[in-house]
Amino acid sequence: MTGSSDHDSASALDWSRLMAAAQDGDRVAYDRLLRQVLPFIRAIAARQHRSPDRIEDVVQDVLLTIHRVRHTYDPSRPFEAWLAAIARRRSIDLLRRHGRIGAAETWEAGAYETFADPRANKEKEGRDATSTLGRALRGLPPGQREALELVKLRELSLAEASRQSGKSVGALKVNVHRALKALRTRLKGETS
């Protein structure tokens, strides 16, 4: 325990020295300090946030704040208390911000599927394709639809499909072929 607290106070003293050097314009010290304090900030953020993305948002907010108010740090005072106050404040700010957004907005997946980037619209296109395919399937003659469902959708072998439907393997083959051709024509017509 003593060893660990000695280590902690040594690192706090080190941070204080690094910050004082950073205030004087030492960029190497500033870089070291900002990287060393990351776990400390993450630990504070993790008290209020569960998602790693949110914790990282807090970390970045805290880094920006440290940069903005670094002239307010007094090297004769403990650095940890200064940093912890900033981290707690920013963590709560983010919590409030998300609380406000959550209170005013409702999640609607479809609302996000209107981006210019086609990849962003994938989910919506997937849903649209399912309903188009469903419509096209319903438009097929019953024999062709049954053959397609058994062989392609339920993935039965021709022999099994023949046993279930009571139709010959040859008739199933012909119906599947015709059904696929009809679907291809119909879907091409709908999308063009």
- Kindly list the residues in this chain that would bind other proteins in the complex (CB under 8 A): 22-25, 27, 30-31, 34-35, 38, 56, 59-60, 63-65, 67-75, 77-78, 81-82, 85-86, 89-90
Least distance in angstroms from the C-beta of 118 to other proteins: 25
Residue recorded with tokens 């208390």 = 81
Between 89 and 122, whose beta carbon lies closer to other proteins? Answer: 89
CA angle 19, 21, 25 (to 5 degrees): 110
Pick the closest to residue 91 from 120, 132, 49 (CA basis): 49
Between 31 and 190, whose beta carbon lies closer to other proteins? Answer: 31
Least distance in angstroms from the C-beta of 48 to other proteins: 16
CA max distance for the chain: 92
Least distance in angstroms from the C-beta of 105 to other proteins: 23
Least distance in angstroms from the C-beta of 56 to other proteins: 6
Helix (H, G, I), strand (E, B) or coil at 19: helix
